[in-house]
């Protein structure tokens, strides 16, 4: 079915270490969105990627869209305790007019 | 001002009961959604409405009935609640049908006893 595969499912790091989550699809993605959900909170939109090979940065966060538009990644440099949460990628299916979310990567941080 | 607000925040009820969750957005968006998030954090779309018109119904049991009286409101009524309905239900909205950032409410944590 329509699904983006997201890995890893869990990641535990020491504060200050880097973190990366990956999103893969067997089909070409029209665009991809990333969301962050803090524990007990709701998903919050981070960014949308549309162009092949696109790279966008938000402070310590770097988002990439693959050249073939079949994968995307979110990299956090020097994690802080405020980065704790679950990070979701979401694929936009324009034909079906809906977002399909990946399984999420849950990030925990040892201070 | 809360952009997407849903009530109640918590709902604890017995199996077999009927309950409703309400959602309102003040962002002027055309499209609203209901999502279900299970205990493993998997987030799955249930319904979407665009300007009061049902666009997506993702094979949800017909015990779930959404209603959109106007484009700023989307409610969810659930009949004959079952144990498997326990989850967090999120309302969301976006500017255009399926496009643009989605803005989520705080969620309704439904627990079935």
- B80 is in which domain, residue-wise? 4-112
Contacts of B42 in chain A (CB under 8 A): 101, 103-104
Strand B31-37 with A105-110, pairing: unpaired
pLDDT tens by residue, A61-93? 999 999 999 999 999 999 999 999 999 999 987
Question: What contacts B75, CB < 8 A, 6 or more positions away?
Answer: B20, B21, B22, B23, B66, B67, B68, B69
The domains of chain A, with CATH numbers, are 5-110 (2.60.40.10)
Question: Buried (b) or exposed (e) across A78-96, using 16+ Cβ within 10 A?
Answer: ebeeebbbbbbbbbbeeee
User: Which residue of chain A comes nearest to B5, CA vs CA?
Assistant: A42
Would you state the pLDDT for residue A63?
98
Q: Where residue A22 falls among pLDDT bands split at 50, 70, 90? A: very high
CB atoms under 10 Å from CB of B83, counted, come to 9
Residues A3 and A88: beta-carbon distance below 8 Å: no
CATH number at residue B46: 2.60.40.10
Residuewise pLDDT in 10s, chain B (113 residues): 679 999 999 999 999 999 999 999 999 999 999 999 999 889 999 999 988 889 888 878 999 999 999 999 999 999 999 999 999 999 999 987 667 899 999 999 999 99
Number of domains in chain B: 1
- Nearest CA of chain A to the CA of B105: how many Å? 7
Measured CA angle at A38 (ends B55, A29), to 5 deg: 45
Q: Where residue A51 falls among pLDDT bands split at 50, 70, 90? A: very high
Q: Taking residues A12-34, what's their average pLDDT? A: 94
Would you state the pLDDT for residue A2?
57
- Write out residues 31-60 of A within 8 Å (CB-CB) of B: 33, 35, 37, 41-45, 48
**A111: helix, strand or coil:** coil
Residue A42 has φ and ψ, to the nearest 5°, of -115, 160
- A45 contacts B97? CB cut-off 8 A: no
The 3-class secondary structure across A77-104, one letter per residue, is: CCCCHHHCEEEEEEEEECCCCEEEECCC
């Amino acid at each position: 079915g329509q699904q983006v595969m997201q890995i890893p499912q869990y990641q535990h790091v020491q504060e200050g270490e880097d973190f990366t989550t990956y999103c893969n699809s067997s089909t070409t993605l029209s665009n991809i969105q990333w969301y962050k959900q803090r524990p007990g909170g709701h998903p919050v939109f981070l960014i949308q990627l549309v162009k092949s090979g696109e790279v966008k940065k938000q402070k310590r966060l770097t988002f990439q869209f693959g050249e073939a538009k079949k994968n995307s990644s979110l990299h956090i440099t020097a994690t802080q305790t405020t980065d704790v949460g679950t990070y979701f990628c979401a694929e936009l299916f324009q034909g079906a007019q809906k977002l399909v979310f990946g399984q999420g990567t849950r990030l925990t941080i040892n201070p | 001002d809360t952009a997407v607000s849903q009530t109640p925040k918590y709902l604890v009820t017995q199996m077999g009961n009927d309950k409703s969750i309400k959602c309102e957005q003040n962002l002027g968006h055309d499209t609203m959604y209901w999502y279900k998030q299970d205990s493993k954090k998997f987030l799955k779309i249930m319904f979407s409405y665009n300007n009061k018109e049902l666009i997506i119904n993702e094979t949800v049991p017909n015990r779930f009935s959404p209603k959109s009286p106007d484009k700023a409101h989307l409610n969810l009524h659930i009949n004959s609640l079952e144990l498997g309905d326990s989850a967090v239900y999120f309302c969301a909205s976006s500017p255009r049908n399926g496009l643009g950032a989605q803005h989520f409410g705080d969620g309704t944590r439904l627990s079935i006893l």
